[in-house]
Amino acid sequence: MIIGIPKEIKTLENRVSMTPGAVESLARRGHTVLVESGAGLGSGLSDAEYQAAGAKLVNAKDAWAAQMVIKVKEPVSAEYKYLRDDLLLFTYLHLAADRPQTDALLKSGTTSVAYETVQKADGSLPLLMPMSEVAGRMATQVGAHYLEKTQGGRGVILGGVPGVPPAFVLILGGGVVGTNAAKVAVGMGARVMIMDLSHSRLQYLDDIFQGRLITMASTEPNIREAVKRADLVVGAVLVTGAKAPRLVTRDMLSTMKEGSVIVDVAVDQGGCVETIKATTHDHPTYVVDGVVHYGVANMPGAVPRTSTFALVNQTLPYAMKLADKGLEALREDPSLLKGLNTHKGKLTYKAVGEAFGIDSSSPEAALA
């Protein structure tokens, strides 16, 4: 198969979808890999390294002309012109929060497989997990930075100092993002509360953190009370492939402390805070009712060296299956089949259809 690796053009997105080592693995299996010149520079990977691995350096148009394009982030509007009905696209999509992209994929007939909806039988999301780990750890780090007075925050340090109490961190969601945010927050000495709907998940978190954080059922009254006390709120809620539920409402903001910070990691799925909107690394924050909002939708792009290698570790085995077998790989692998979001003008992910009121079909029916 001919595989294209375009350079990411989302604002300050420095990740790349395949490392030279991954390119070499694909080339050894007989595939032709076209890498856009400069695609890896943001992650510290040179064109020479890709050439040595067996890639051919091309321009953006030629990379997108491949049979399968592997990316990191969803196509932005400037890339919609490259979508077509004989293209297999493998990348993060987050369609439930992006109607224009959904329409573009359907109109073009592109077959798109979304990293974030590839799902194993146990419910785990293997291609979302590595970036959730990065984003979760970054959320606390970023929140601590914006709590500084010079960044518009309250002027508090997460861990406090002897004689001065630590900051209070509220984490909404106890999944991969929330757990990793909690690890960093606890490690920095903050008082941490984590909320989740699953009692068994709260039991698990209580066990692994050995009582060093507070676990609480995620209900509206509990959230309403907790945000009043929070210095930092981390939105870490995920409903696979669907829009995130709105847990922090506009009226709650007026009860929060002046200069408190919200970091909503769920923003790429619409966000779990009513007042959140997607921002970029060059303009990451804005203020509503005195509360600093951080809504960068590609947080791991700020640490591309770590993120690129962590992502490729997980995506490469699936990319090789798709390269080797094409659509047959989807039929043979139930986990990969769940990643199919669009095919030949049909929407194949129910939660996206529900978000936009669009009819959807099952992946199996669409492929048949």
pLDDT digits (tens, 9 = 90+) for 145-181: 999 999 999 999 999 999 999 999 999 999 999 999 9
Residues in CB range of 94: below 8 A, 6 or more apart: 74, 114, 116, 268, 269, 297
Q: Which position has the higher pLDDT, 22 or 211?
A: 22
Find, among 230, 154, 158, 147, the residue nearest to 188 by Cα.
158
303-327 pLDDT, tens digit per residue, is 999 999 999 999 999 999 999 999 9
Give the Cα separation of 368 and 292 in Å (integer). Answer: 49
The neighbouring-strand residues paired with 346 are 343
In the predicted model, is pLDDT for residue 241 greater than 80? no
Query: 0.75 exceeded by the pTM?
Result: yes
Q: State the pLDDT confidence band at 240, using cuts at 50, 70 and 90.
A: confident
Supply 166's token pair: 């630590």
Give the Cα separation of 208 and 258 in Å (integer). Answer: 33
Q: Which amino acid is at 24?
A: E
pLDDT the model gives residue 70: 98
Between strands 261-264 and 285-288, the pairing is: unpaired
The neighbouring-strand residues paired with 293 are 262, 286
pLDDT the model gives residue 13: 94
Average pLDDT over residues 63-89: 97
Q: Which position has the higher pLDDT, 269 or 57?
A: 57
Q: What are phi and psi of 2, to 5 degrees?
A: -95, 120
Q: Is there a catalytic annotation at residue 103?
A: no
pLDDT the model gives residue 165: 96
Helices (H) and strands (E) in the chain, counts: 14, 15
Residues 223-249 as b/e (b if ≥16 CB within 10 A, e otherwise) read beebbeebbbbbbbbbeebbbbbbbbe
Give the Cα separation of 202 and 195 in Å (integer). Answer: 8
In the predicted model, is pLDDT for residue 244 greater than 90? no
Q: Are 63 and 69 in contact (CB under 8 A)?
A: yes
Q: Is there a catalytic annotation at residue 94?
A: yes
pLDDT the model gives residue 243: 84
Give the Cα separation of 43 and 259 in Å (integer). Answer: 34
113-139 pLDDT, tens digit per residue, is 999 999 999 999 999 999 999 999 999
What percentage of residues in the chain have a pLDDT greater than 70? 100
Average pLDDT over residues 41-55: 98
pLDDT the model gives residue 40: 98
324-362 pLDDT, tens digit per residue, is 999 999 999 999 999 999 999 999 999 999 999 999 999
Q: At what angle do helices 129-146 and 304-325 cross, to 10 degrees?
A: 160
The neighbouring-strand residues paired with 232 are 169, 261
22-35 pLDDT, tens digit per residue, is 999 999 999 999 99
Give the Cα separation of 42 and 350 in Å (integer). Answer: 35
> With 0-12 CB in 10 A as exposed, 13-18 as middle and 19+ as buried, what is 206?
middle
Number of neighbours of residue 84 by Cβ within 10 angstroms: 12
Q: Are 132 and 307 in contact (CB under 8 A)?
A: no
The one catalytic residue among 31, 94, 293, 343:
94
272-297 pLDDT, tens digit per residue, is 999 999 999 999 999 999 999 999 99
Mean pLDDT for the chain?
96
In the predicted model, is pLDDT for residue 15 greater than 90? yes
pLDDT the model gives residue 11: 87
The one catalytic residue among 98, 196, 231, 268:
268
Give the Cα separation of 50 and 18 in Å (integer). Answer: 10
pLDDT the model gives residue 44: 97
The residue with tokens 């007042």 is 275
Q: Are 367 and 327 in contact (CB under 8 A)?
A: yes
186-196 pLDDT, tens digit per residue, is 999 999 999 99
